[in-house]
Structure 1
């Protein structure tokens, strides 16, 4: 693939995941020269449009915040989403605890983790990407798929995971086992971001972080107090970049400093977070 034009307009790409062809968009930050670090944004069950482009209270989207850090952003659309391929949509609610549902969701996470793995592999084919600085960011179901993908992948520098499993943890023992196993085998540091007021009385990351830190000491978990928000709004923590921006930037700086002597090429702090 040729070097992309430097603009915040996306380039549409296709890439294989097994026998499936998936689609995604790539944005490059303006005024930053390659090789570029890149974030793979893994959407929730609401689909990509539901989280990457939503403006927070100060009208700055997740996409804009990531670009402001100097990252290119690759937003793949996993199988069966946005009507790009046939198949079931996965509602990820909290009102069902049947064994069959637990088995289905657990398998679905594994399937979508294959798509995340394929997206990571695709970034390794891009000649303008710094292949040592590939990160996964994920929200909810996308966070779970990212975590499962990361246990077998050595091509990630780190992960930032929002509301990992919060909507289904209590009623899904198979999902719990899958995520704990994945956290115990991480090959890169992870930053878990959760609200204290979301769907889970105790965020799953409180258990996952212990397993993650045992194998990746630079992993961390941060919890935000959001009593002014509904449970749904608290779950959608990605939309509140003025809360998490500096924690993410600090995490990125720390893992970068531990892998090289140079500072990451990050842009100025956006107005929403000053």
Structure 2
């Protein structure tokens, strides 16, 4: 049983395409659930949860310059597990830092992590010392270690277009968004390479705008949080793009030998506008 075909893509917001050839899957497989193992953690791949064989998942949350291992659990139409596929390993060798809203990953924006960021990292383990009856030394009663809290995130954004893209990731008056951002960086910082950050506010500070420049600095106190459910994501390649590129089904069928090949032609993204 073969593992997935992994294709890193560094165009714009970097991602890893994860594709399982249907012929390599266990007989009777109707549904796949794709997992990524990275940074000593197990992640559900967004867009690859309860997906149909023959489709490709695009992992926009793969960390930069970090070994990532992918495999999928196979299920029948009735929900019975057929076990896991073999695994495959890839590294997304991207530079710099990208930020995106998990539900709109194609709209990622490149930023710079300022040196003020993450000078201190805190992962609390709440608890208290409790004396039991007759005890001279207390026992500690508490919870497990928690995620990062109060991380100082300072980002430099150097163009009006990127500032607008960052604002769009947070949401607008008309377009509501979840209050979580995915920050991925190849820069030397102490937070995770895939960092889901949430803050009550992302204040912007003018650095050169009033003097004719485009430099804005964004400072926020962030907590590490769970991302939105992995089955929720905006489509990357849309049927409208395919329809705009190939007005007739005959033309489209002549171009692609399989539906999988059609759905993985990312050169057509945005053709429909």
Normalised to the residue count of structure 1, the TM-score between the two structures is 0.27
Normalised to the residue count of structure 2, the TM-score between the two structures is 0.27
